[in-house]
Amino acid sequence: MRFDFFRRAAAEETPAAEAAQGLAMPRNAEGFVAYTLLLDPHKRVAGYKLAWRAAARPEEAPDAISQFKSLVACVTEHLNPPDTPWRLGRSELFFDVNAELLALGALQSLPPEYTVLCVELGDLANEELRPILHFLHEQGFSFMLCRAKALPEDPELLGLVSHFDVGAGDPLLVAAARGKELPDHMPIQPIATRMASWKDFEACAARRVDVFADASCGLPPPAASTGSHALQPESVLIMRLLQMIQRNEDLREIEAALKRDAALTYRLLRHMNSPAVGAGVEIHSLHHAVTMLGYSPLFRWLSLLLATSNPMGSPPFMMKKAIMRGRFVELMGEIMLPRGESDNLFVVGMFSLIDQLLGIPMQEVLNKVQLSDSVQQAILTRGGVYGPFLSLAEACELDTGEAARLAEALLLSASQVNAAHLSALAWSQDVIPAEAA
């Protein structure tokens, strides 16, 4: 009986039913999408946790249900439009839900196989919610258990859990997830949800090395810091090429320098011909690329390669974050700035994290690659014409609550910012597989 009740409740909440009652999904609940990169134990991006931050002041903000519906509507519009493949490939989206949100028909517009619902143990164990949990699980939705000290002992509840929130990489929580005896067909993935940088995880691991020394945990030992800031040979070459482009040196000299590294040449040409670039014509050589598209796109592509040129020092999630930020800043700038500024904005976003990617101080990077004054000003002080766009991107990433104010100062609407944000998320899916291979 309860199962039928929840099935009917979900059906009554569908967008069609809401529209028929004059209660269409509330796009007027204006707000901004905030995201968190979720990591697996191998420092890879397991997915993205999305949240909705109302543009209005807290006392004037819509209720939680309206905000959640607005978030789902925004995600559906930009990542899962009708008759279009899921734009995030195999990546999953994670959403915090409670008892009220679990019964919403709005969930039905999300692709179940790529949607993970984050629940607390109290809701997971709630007998009244059990039928709807099973209903959603049968549809293909996954569940992550959050803010729990251990996995549930109840086999029925355990069968619903596919992901386990281990916070900032707490070794005891990771061990609890990895050490649970589970059938092969129902593994549970530890997910780090509150990590500003991998240093948090390594510090945690250092306190309990025995937990991570066990190969069955599937986790690498904490990396030892050498204190060295030596760049990889490929990074040095890319920086040299960037300098040559900025000095407008002869194309033949740039080609000659690039040809010293066949692997780099291959990666660059492969990226130029990737779906993310979409040049509309196959590029066969560096000369062909510059002849057709000019020096600025080449500088941008080399900046992308620089971000992925230090795999020993840069975990994949940092590369993903830098590429997403570069594209996000670029797309927002395209709305407001004159044509031709977008490549500078992409470089601003990318280079704002380049010190973390390469493992050397920012000033040392800027000494090697002489960026324009306006680009350096944005990176170092968030000032100048480009700085506010970078500040807005960071506000959305860090969920500081400043997004509404910063967007208003740039004359950008919340819908424009969200469209740029989710488009950047989708775009990065095409770039990372080609560049991080």
Task: Give the pLDDT confidence of 350-399 residue by residue, as tens digits.
Answer: 999 988 888 889 998 888 888 889 999 999 999 999 999 999 999 998 88
For residue 241, pLDDT beyond 60: yes
Residue 297 or residue 36, greater confidence: 36
Residue 187 or residue 15, greater confidence: 187
| Residues of the chain above pLDDT 70, percent | 78
CA distances from 268 to 73, 301, 308, 434 (A): 37, 7, 12, 10
Q: Provide the pLDDT for residue 161.
A: 94
Q: Provide the pLDDT for residue 129.
A: 95
Q: Provide the pLDDT for residue 378.
A: 96
Q: Give mean pLDDT, residues 236-253.
A: 85
For residue 2, pLDDT beyond 50: no
Residue 193 or residue 409, greater confidence: 409
Residue 270 or residue 141, greater confidence: 141
Q: What is the pTM of this model?
A: 0.80
Residue 318: pLDDT band (50, 70, 90) is confident
Q: Which range (148-152, 288-292, 408-412, 424-428) has the least confidence?
A: 288-292
Residue 261 or residue 31, greater confidence: 31
Q: Provide the pLDDT for residue 343.
A: 77
- Exposure of 427 by Cβ count < 10 A (0-12 exposed, 13-18 middle, 19+ buried)? buried
For residue 18, pLDDT beyond 90: no
Strand order in the sheet with 45-54: 31-39, 45-54, 92-96, 115-120, 142-146, 161-165, 189-191
Task: Indicate the average pLDDT of the chain.
Answer: 79
Q: Provide the pLDDT for residue 181.
A: 59
For residue 10, pLDDT beyond 60: no
Q: Give mean pLDDT, residues 165-177.
A: 78
For residue 120, pLDDT beyond 50: yes
Q: Provide the pLDDT for residue 206.
A: 39
- Residues contacting residue 293 through CB under 8 Å, at least 6 positions apart: 279
pLDDT tens column, 76-103: 999 999 888 999 988 999 999 999 999 9
pLDDT tens column, 59-71: 777 889 999 999 9
d(CA 74, CA 409): 23
d(CA 203, CA 367): 31
Q: Give mean pLDDT, residues 334-342.
A: 84
Q: Provide the pLDDT for residue 199.
A: 54
Q: Which range (32-36, 183-187, 230-234, 241-245) has the least confidence?
A: 183-187
Q: Provide the pLDDT for residue 145.
A: 96
Residue 416 or residue 252, greater confidence: 416
Rg, C-alpha atoms of the chain: 23
Q: Provide the pLDDT for residue 306.
A: 84
Q: Give mean pLDDT, residues 168-187.
A: 67
For residue 9, pLDDT beyond 60: no
Q: Provide the pLDDT for residue 207.
A: 37
Q: Give mean pLDDT, residues 5-11.
A: 45
Residue 164: pLDDT band (50, 70, 90) is very high
d(CA 79, CA 261): 37
For residue 213, pLDDT beyond 50: no
Q: Provide the pLDDT for residue 186.
A: 58
Q: What is the distance, to the nearest Å, from the Cα of residue 436 to the centroid of all Cα atoms in its chain?
A: 15
Q: Provide the pLDDT for residue 311.
A: 59
Residue 312: pLDDT band (50, 70, 90) is low
